[in-house]
Amino acid sequence: MILVTGGTGFVGAHLLYHLTKEGKQVKALKRPGSETKLTRKIFSYYAEKPDEQFNLVQWIEGDILDYHSLTDAFEGVTKLYHAAAMVSFHTGDRDKVIRINSTGTANVVNAALEKNIEKMCYVSSVGVLGRDNNKELTDEESQWKTSNKSSVYSKSKYEAEREVWRGMAEGLNAVIVNPSIVVGPGNWQAGSPQVFETLWKGLKFYTGGMNGFVDVNDLARAMILLMEGDYSGERYIISAENVSYKQFFEWMAEAMNLPAPKFKAGPFLSGIGWRMLKVLELFTGKKPGITRETARTANQVYRYSTKKFTEATGMEFIPVKESVERTAELFLKEMKE
């Protein structure tokens, strides 16, 4: 029996789709009161019979912050995918992000050890890797460096990953994936899918940075591949290509038949932007889409090496341009409905 945490989220929902497509027996953890609407919608993007395939998932109520609910949920589980996390770059969410991502992962690791889970895959982030040298390719050996430039989210994932390494030292059979920016359809008002709605509404600016990107379906397939193969005690960067934000937005605009952002927002202009939105938050109560952390990251050049993963598995990635086109097609279809 397989169990997935975070099955109601972007990555977890795609993982559930691929697992059920392969005929796997799957349970998914959901917090009491949380909805499965996004997961059902994601199944509808790909499955021939989405409702029938969605119903193959056995939903279990539990919370990664509730240790006893985890030990109950892990009963009879052999393989565990831990994808549950809170993604936020707002400093006001600091305590909550760290509690969910770090403390929650510690609970998952401890429960997995107690219940003798055969193998676990943890979804980390490239944000935990040392990447302060913009001229170098970042690989799995790049070590975390404490810096005030690191986002709250990156710090929380670093602490969470430490819990997984601690679990491995105590006998847990586990593998870690470090995905770059994940591209794919989901909640168009949150996370990485939100950039498609932002462009749709008339994005005028691009930044001079670069980052790694990977299709969400490739991430799911990579996780399954690592779990079913003889891979253990290692971390793997999962990233298809290193692409400039300017190029990424141009691909999006072309796919959506929209004008590409033509004004470059450097660090100074980006800094003004997030400060203005922060002031606006005081009046509207709505959290801004741009924060100090995201503005800073968008002007940095981050390049990642996937040599370790590709040499180990032989898996080929979907080109980022193709991933953008597929996602844009689904976005436009929804906008027309």
Q: Which DSSP helix (H) or strand (E) runs through 212?
A: strand 210-215
Residue 67 lies in a domain: yes
Q: Which two tokens stand for residue 181?
A: 């920016």
**Maximum mean pLDDT: which of 166-170, 261-265, 266-270, 272-276:** 166-170
The CATH number of whichever domain residue 26 belongs to comes to 3.40.50.720
d(C-alpha 25, C-alpha 40), whole Å: 17
Residue with tokens 């006001």: 92
Q: Which residue has the higher pLDDT, 227 or 90?
A: 227
Domain count, the chain: 1
- pLDDT number for residue 135: 55
Cβ-based burial of 191 (10 A; exposed 0-12, middle 13-18, buried ≥19) = middle
Residue 152 lies in a domain: yes
- pLDDT number for residue 204: 80
Q: Which residue has the higher pLDDT, 156 or 289?
A: 156
Residue 264 lies in a domain: no
Instruction: Tell me the three state secondary structure of residue 204.
Output: coil
Q: Which two tokens stand for residue 221?
A: 């397939």
**Maximum mean pLDDT: which of 149-153, 286-290, 304-308:** 304-308
Q: Report the Cα 200 to chain-centroid distance in Å.
A: 22
Q: Which two tokens stand for residue 277?
A: 């939105």
Q: Which two tokens stand for residue 156?
A: 């929380």
| pLDDT digit string, tens, across residues 95-136 | 778 888 899 999 999 999 999 999 999 999 998 887 655 557
Task: Please tell me what DSSP assigns to residue 130.
Answer: -
- pLDDT number for residue 265: 66
| pLDDT digit string, tens, across residues 291-331 | 555 555 666 788 999 999 999 999 999 999 999 999 999 99
Comparing CA positions, the residue from 293, 147, 325, 317 lying closest to residue 242 is 317
Q: Is the predicted pLDDT of residue 286 greater than 70, yes or no?
A: no
Residue with tokens 């040599």: 307
d(C-alpha 329, C-alpha 122), whole Å: 30
d(C-alpha 334, C-alpha 159), whole Å: 38
Sign of CA dihedral 147, 148, 150, 156: positive
Q: By residue range, what is the domain housing residue 101?
A: 2-182+214-240+303-318
Residue 41 lies in a domain: yes
Residue 291 lies in a domain: no
Residue 327 lies in a domain: no
Query: From the CB of residue 50, how many other CB atoms can be counted at a distance below 10 Å?
Result: 16
Residue 332 lies in a domain: no
Instruction: Tell me the three state secondary structure of residue 264.
Output: strand
d(C-alpha 274, C-alpha 131), whole Å: 23
Residue 249 lies in a domain: no
